[in-house]
A and B are shown apart, each in its own frame.
Chain A
Amino acid sequence: MKKLWCKLLIMVCCVVGLMGVSYVPAQAAVVNHTLNYFHYNTYKDGDGRNWVRIEMGMNKGNLEYEVSQNPDKPFQLVVKLNNTNRGDVKKNIGLDRKIARYMTLKNDHRDMVATIAVTDNLEDHEYKVYTAEVDKKNRKPYRLVIEIAADKGSVNKAVGDERLDGVEGHTVVIDPGHGGTDTGAIGPSRVKEKNITLKISQDVARILQLNGANVVMTRDTDVDVYGPNATDKQELQARVNVARRHPDADIFVSIHCNAFTKSSAHGTSTYYYGHSSRDSMLSQLIQNEMVAATGLYDRGIHSANFYVLRNSWIPATLVETAFISNPYEENMLASADVQHAMALAICKGISNYFRRVGR
């Protein structure tokens, strides 16, 4: 009897031990995904570009995956699905052949590797990989979606009149005049320059970015760039330094509202220091678009010994959009439509500048 007891005890211990051993890794592998759906289609996007969309459905959500490119195999996009089994989906799947030729699925230990052979060097394709939740309406399970475009396309996402040529890839520093403890000029109806310059500048930044430009803002909120109540030198130098910190910056554009002691002064003017002919060229091209867009009096471009312009290492301009001290123009400056028209005009001027000077 004793021997039997001993054997039973050993057996129980072994079973418990085995269970323990097998139980631990099961917990580490959170979810085991199994493919149960596959679909691909091609479509055209808003810009008329062709895409192929590959959808791999599975039984569970929360998939972890890694996207990689093998530099030795530039015609392949590799996506590793962690803790995934190929299930009933075929090993080799033919695709549209125009963008992607075929896809292979290979189990690699616990994971599955999907390799997609594309028609051109992957560098010339734009692609995105994302997961999609269960789509009950279209009877689609939780999926990993891979989309590949026929080409890189333009990074230019702007549409309509906001679409500009020549700014793509350029870096523009936008300096919204004043801010924080410095209100700038104040209009007869108490409109503050710092708020108008920020609104116009943010719109300029948005439009330029849509067109593929890199934008650096000296400030993007109602703050002093250096710090509250700094000396004017510290504050203005801080704005200049923003541009100096970006060696790839091409131009510096400061946006202001003008003011004068008499409310009769009116119109648009643009200032430059004149380190080179590019300063006046940039100023004139922005001034032309501003006057055309707003219909305001053309005060012309002026060379002036302004701190931010003189200390800039790159072509720099300061746009005095309109007179905040003039009641009519103050009203215009406070209007969102006018702010947008001015922002677009500044962007067009910048676009014309880059088209003229080239890369």
Chain B
Amino acid sequence: MKIRKIIAVIMIMVMAFAVAGCDQENKQPTDNGKKTVVENNTEKPTEEKITVKIYFPNSDATKLVAVDKTVKLAGTTKYKAAVDALMEGTDDSKLATVIPKQAKLLGVTVNGDTARVDFDKGLVKHFNGGSTGEEFLVGSIVNTLTEFPEIKKVQITIEGRNVYTLKGHMDISKPLGRMTEVLK
């Protein structure tokens, strides 16, 4: 009986840790499983809405323009919600949607001050390229995420792997800091 109780306690602990591990925002996982669960409940209410600043290029691709968008945090992190909003695109005729509609976002993870944004191969396959196209596609993702003060760098990956370029121009093999040159 004692052994069963010990196993049950261990299992509860393991589950609590697993939940804590899923939570991207939780930077200080604690040994106290109960506390983590409470935190999760407060950080991820099903209908909480936040306003994020996302970036779209203007239609002539001379600069990125910030757009405020209110997004639901339904079962997701604010980082993923922001990139999701970016991928939804814009109806504003003065702005351009740069991420191909066929691309899928596989996840956004944060480690320290660096966000890793993982896409499927559709991002590369359905993207036409061009130096300007690449600059603004990468710039819109990097600048949207670095809008969060705790994010300083962004690494774009394809199906979990670091890549050198999207279409042969910009080197994205290493995390990129905020791209101020496309904000002017």
Which residues of A have CB within 8 Å of B64?
none
Could you list 19 further interchain pairs (A-B, Cβ under 8 angstroms) beyond the known A306-B171, A307-B169, A307-B171? Answer: A184-B168, A185-B128, A186-B128, A193-B129, A256-B131, A258-B131, A258-B133, A261-B133, A265-B96, A265-B132, A299-B62, A302-B135, A304-B131, A304-B169, A304-B170, A310-B171, A320-B131, A323-B132, A324-B130
Interface residues of B in 112-137 (CB under 8 A from A): 128-133, 135-136
CB-based contact A258/B132 at 8 Å: yes
Kindly provide the distance from the CB of B133 to the nearest chain A CB, expressed in whole angstroms: 5
CB-based contact B130/A320 at 8 Å: yes
Which residues of B have CB within 8 Å of A299?
62, 132
Task: Indicate if B59 sits at the interface (CB-CB under 8 A).
Answer: yes
Task: Give the nearest-CB partner of B136 in chain A.
Answer: A260
The interface stretch among A50-58, A166-174, A229-237 is A229-237
Task: Indicate if B163 sits at the interface (CB-CB under 8 A).
Answer: yes
Most B C-beta atoms less than 10 A away, residue of A232, A307, A310: A232
Task: Indicate if A269 sits at the interface (CB-CB under 8 A).
Answer: yes
Interface residues of B in 61-119 (CB under 8 A from A): 61-62, 96-98
Task: Indicate if B60 sits at the interface (CB-CB under 8 A).
Answer: yes
Knowing A232-B164, A266-B60, A307-B169, the reply to whether A302 touches B133 (Cβ < 8 A) is no
Task: Indicate if B181 sits at the interface (CB-CB under 8 A).
Answer: yes
Task: Indicate if A271 sits at the interface (CB-CB under 8 A).
Answer: yes
Task: Indicate if B165 sits at the interface (CB-CB under 8 A).
Answer: yes
Knowing A266-B60, A320-B132, A323-B130, the reply to whether A261 touches B96 (Cβ < 8 A) is yes
Q: Is the interface of A mostly helix, strand, loop or mixed?
A: mixed
Task: Indicate if A143 sits at the interface (CB-CB under 8 A).
Answer: no
Cβ-defined partner of B171 (8 Å) among A261, A264, A305: A305
CB-based contact B59/A262 at 8 Å: yes
CB-based contact A259/B164 at 8 Å: no
Chain A, 241-261, contact with B by CB distance < 8 Å: what is the 0/1 string?
000000000000000111111
CB-based contact A259/B129 at 8 Å: yes
Task: Indicate if A111 sits at the interface (CB-CB under 8 A).
Answer: no
Knowing A177-B168, A302-B181, A306-B170, the reply to whether A271 touches B59 (Cβ < 8 A) is no
Q: How many residues of B contact A (CB 8 A)?
A: 27
**Complexed CA–CA distance, A324 and B165 (Å):** 20
**Complexed CA–CA distance, A212 and B169 (Å):** 31
Chain A, 265-283, contact with B by CB distance < 8 Å: what is the 0/1 string?
1100101000000000000
Mark B residues whose CB is within 8 Å of A. Answer: 57, 59-62, 96-98, 128-133, 135-136, 163-165, 167-171, 173, 176, 181
CB-based contact A236/B128 at 8 Å: no
CB-based contact A262/B61 at 8 Å: yes
Most B C-beta atoms less than 10 A away, residue of A271, A303, A306: A306
**A-B interface pairs (CB < 8 A), number:** 100
Knowing A299-B62, A306-B171, A325-B128, the reply to whether A260 touches B165 (Cβ < 8 A) is no
Q: Is the interface of B mostly helix, strand, loop or mixed?
A: loop
CB-based contact A185/B133 at 8 Å: yes
Knowing A262-B59, A262-B61, A266-B60, the reply to whether A305 touches B133 (Cβ < 8 A) is no
**Complexed CA–CA distance, A262 and B136 (Å):** 12
Interface residues of A in 301-327 (CB under 8 A from B): 302-307, 310, 318, 320, 323-325
**Complexed CA–CA distance, A264 and B181 (Å):** 21
CB-based contact B132/A236 at 8 Å: no
**Complexed CA–CA distance, A235 and B97 (Å):** 29
Which residues of B have CB within 8 Å of A306?
131, 169-171
CB-based contact B130/A231 at 8 Å: no
CB-based contact A185/B165 at 8 Å: no
**Complexed CA–CA distance, A320 and B97 (Å):** 21
Task: Give the nearest-CB partner of A237 in chain B.
Answer: B164
**Complexed CA–CA distance, A278 and B109 (Å):** 40
**Lowest 10 A-B CB distances belong to which pairs?**
A259-B130, A265-B61, A233-B164, A262-B96, A307-B171, A185-B129, A258-B130, A260-B61, A232-B165, A232-B164
Kindly provide the distance from the CB of B102 to the nearest chain A CB, expressed in whole angstroms: 13
CB-based contact B132/A260 at 8 Å: yes
Cβ-defined partner of B131 (8 Å) among A233, A264, A269: A269
CB-based contact A259/B128 at 8 Å: yes
Task: Give the nearest-CB partner of A186 in chain B.
Answer: B128
Task: Indicate if A147 sits at the interface (CB-CB under 8 A).
Answer: no
Which residues of B have CB within 8 Å of A302?
135, 181
CB-based contact A260/B164 at 8 Å: no
Kindly provide the distance from the CB of B182 to the nearest chain A CB, expressed in whole angstroms: 9
Which residues of A have CB within 8 Å of B167?
184-185
| 29 cross-chain CB contacts under 8 A | A185-B130, A193-B129, A232-B163, A233-B164, A256-B169, A257-B130, A258-B133, A259-B133, A261-B96, A261-B97, A261-B133, A262-B59, A262-B60, A264-B59, A264-B60, A265-B60, A265-B96, A266-B60, A303-B181, A304-B181, A306-B131, A306-B170, A307-B164, A307-B165, A307-B168, A320-B130, A323-B132, A325-B130, A325-B133
